[in-house]
Amino acid sequence: MGPAVRVLIAVSLFIVSAIAVFAQSPPALPAIALEDFPPAARATISAAHREAAARPTDPEALGALGRLLHAWEQWETAHLAYGRAQALAPRTFSWWYLDAVVLQRLVRHDEAIARLRAALAADPAYLPARVRLAEGLFESDVRDESRTLFESLLSEAAAEPAARVGLGRIAASEGRHADAIAHFERAIALFPELGAAYYGVARSYRATGRTEAATRALEGHTRYGPRWPRIEDPLLNAVSELRVDARAMLQRGVSLAETGDLDAAIAAHEGALARDPTLAQAHANLVSLYGRTGNWTKVEEHYRAALGLGLDQADTHYDYGVVLGLQQRWDAAAGAYRRALAINPLHAPAHNNLGQILERERAFEPAAGAYRQAVQAHPTFRLARFNLGRMLLVLGEAPLAVAEFEQLQQPRDSEAPRYLFGLATAYVRTGRRGDGIRVAEEARLLALEHGQTELAAAIQREVDALPDF
């Protein structure tokens, strides 16, 4: 926090003078073409525009219009409304910050930075604004100040993943790839679905000659795409909640689900369906959401509704299979996974989960085949490769198991201890006792590092039980 505050103080005189100049000629009230809006938006936007026109010197009326236009993605007119509110109330944080968000959507980075500086002069502690300013400065190639701000964010738990990505990008741009890799790997450890971190670390891996690691990291980027750790942003949340059309509520529900707020995610999805009962994707999403809460009746209801609306997608059947598995309805779950695979033969998680059911039935050869298909469809699917290695051990194919387990030695994250222990077991089965003991000790120490004391103790017991010769 300290460095960020010092930076903001250093530019405060500039901000004050900029506000004064801006206030001399506030933008006009934006004109609104209501016919361009969906029917669901026209009444509320028309009412807000009339209110702002009736109270042209009231910043709250102008800001309310700006928020509504912002919610409906009318970026230019929202910017004009926020601009007039800023001129009328230059010390109010909200109008500067929300305008900066709009300007970032318009890819007008320098203007967004100016608004973020003004916003943080009014409220230096608002975390989303601090993150946005650091990122905006990086995009505008103001690296030293960006670095200072990112470093100040490392002590903020919610912002550390984003700060690590920012520092990684800066380090990579300066050719310091070892530092970049350390930052990106820390970001992934904090938020394993951070697609941008996988992309950044892949580039630095490649730059340092680690081509296999780069390939695995790019798989992570492909899998997780734009997923980003949520930083609570009450001001922006209030804007998004102004839209109550079905598709906006569906998207809100998806975002809430990604943060783990299942009750709110379900409420948003049900709200979307109340407005549009034909929204098949909302039904499909609720299969997984209700499954995670254990409401099996609702799972069945929404699964049937999604199919009834023609949404015969692999992911829908897969999610249903997962829920059936939670109920230990193994035959039905296997059927759901097979339906998913009939639609998408490359659905790796469905192959893997089907393999687990076959393994429960002691059908080890078919289980190994299912795991192998999962790995072929998704070569960096570590759990599937681990399961394949286990089945090869069961089938007496220890040398083949070694080949699979050896590909799981990196990264050394919280999943790695059991993968390494699998490799140690395979080494012992092939007569490589010394290598087995060495790797088992690596697995034990890594398990302790990640707080997995029970696993560490189990590994030690297995090593102690090895016969001497």
CA torsion angle for 395, 404, 443, 217 (degrees, to 10)?
-150
Using DSSP's 3-state secondary structure scheme, residue 370 falls into helix
Q: Give the Cβ contact number of residue 316 at 10 Å.
A: 25
Contact 341, 353 (CB under 8 A): no
In this predicted structure, the answer to whether residue 10 has a pLDDT above a threshold of 80 is no
How far is 170 from 177, CA to CA, in rounded Å?
A: 10
Percentage with pLDDT > 70 across the chain:
94
Per CATH, is 2-224 categorized as 3.30.2130.10?
no
Contacts within 8 Å (CB) and 24+ apart, 463-468: 463/437, 466/428, 466/433, 466/436, 466/437
Reported as a single tens digit per residue, the pLDDT across 321-365 is 999 999 999 999 999 999 999 999 999 999 999 999 999 999 999
CA distance 201 to 165: 9
Helix/strand number for the chain, H first, E second: 26, 0
Please, which residues have CB within 8 angstroms of residue 121's CB and are 6 or more apart in sequence? 8, 11, 12, 15, 16
**Could you tell me if residue 269 is left (phi over 0), alpha (psi between -120 and 50 degrees) or otherwise beta?**
alpha
The b/e string for 198-209 (b: 16+ C-beta within 10 A; e otherwise) is bbbbbbbbbeee
Name the H helices within 361-415. 364-377, 382-394, 398-405
- Look at residue 9 in the predicted model and tell me its pLDDT: 42
Taking each helix axis from N to C terminus, what angle separates 348-360 and 382-394, rounded to the nearest 10 degrees? 30
Backbone dihedral region of 304: left (phi > 0), alpha (psi from -120 to 50 degrees) or beta?
alpha
Q: What percent of the chain has pLDDT over 90?
A: 78
Three-state secondary-structure class, residue 313: coil
Contacts of 326 (CB under 8 A, 6+ apart): 291, 294
The predicted-structure confidence for 377-428, as pLDDT tens digits, reads as follows 998 899 999 999 999 999 999 999 999 999 999 878 889 999 999 999 999 9
What does pTM read for this prediction?
A: 0.71
Q: Output the pLDDT for position 15.
A: 47
Letter string b/e over residues 76-113, b meaning 16 or more CB atoms within 10 A of that residue's CB: ebbbbbbbbbbbbbbebbbbbbbbbbbbbeeebbebbb
Instruction: Please give the average per-residue pLDDT across 149-160, as a whole number.
Output: 96
Backbone angle region of 420, left / alpha / beta, with phi > 0 → left and psi within -120 to 50 → alpha: alpha
Q: Which residues of 278-308 are buried (b: 16+ CB within 10 A; e: fewer)?
A: ebbbbbbbbbbbbbbeebeebbeebbebbbe
Q: What is the pLDDT of residue 259?
A: 73
Tokens 């320098």 belong to which residue? 110
pLDDT at 116: 97
Terminal Cα-to-Cα distance of the chain (whole angstroms): 60
Model confidence at 14: pLDDT above 60: no
Query: By the 8 A CB rule, do 289 and 266 touch?
Result: yes
Question: What is the Cα 186 distance to its own chain's centre?
Answer: 15
Q: Is the pLDDT of residue 244 over 90?
A: no
User: Average pLDDT of the chain?
Assistant: 91
pLDDT value at residue 469? 56
> pLDDT digits over 94-109, tens only?
999 999 999 999 999 9
Residues ≥6 apart with Cβ < 8 Å to 266 = 253, 286, 289, 290, 293
Q: What is the pLDDT of residue 253?
A: 93
Closest of 207, 202, 205, 204 to residue 218, by C-alpha: 202
| Average pLDDT estimate for 240-255 | 89
- Please write the tens of the pLDDT for every residue from 264-282: 999 999 999 999 999 999 9
- Given pLDDT bands bounded at 50, 70 and 90, which one contains residue 221? confident
Instruction: Indicate the range of 2-6, 403-407, 437-441, 453-457 predicted with least confidence.
Output: 2-6
> Which two three-digit tokens encode residue 186?
């820390």
**One-letter amino acid identity for 292?**
R
The number of residues making up the chain comes to 469
What local confidence, expressed as pLDDT, does residue 25 receive?
62
* pLDDT at 20 exceeding the cut of 60: no
d(CA 113, CA 99): 10
Provide φ and ψ at 43, rounded to 5°: -65, -45
CA gap 146, 132 in Å, rounded: 10
- The ranges assigned to domains in the chain are 2-224
Q: In the predicted model, what is the mean pLDDT of residues 118-145?
A: 96
- Phi-psi domain of 279 (left: phi exceeds 0; alpha: psi -120 through 50; beta: other): beta
Query: What gap in Å lies between CA 469 and CA 455, rounded to an integer?
Result: 26
For residue 345, whether the previous peptide bond is cis, meaning omega lies within 30 degrees of 0, is no
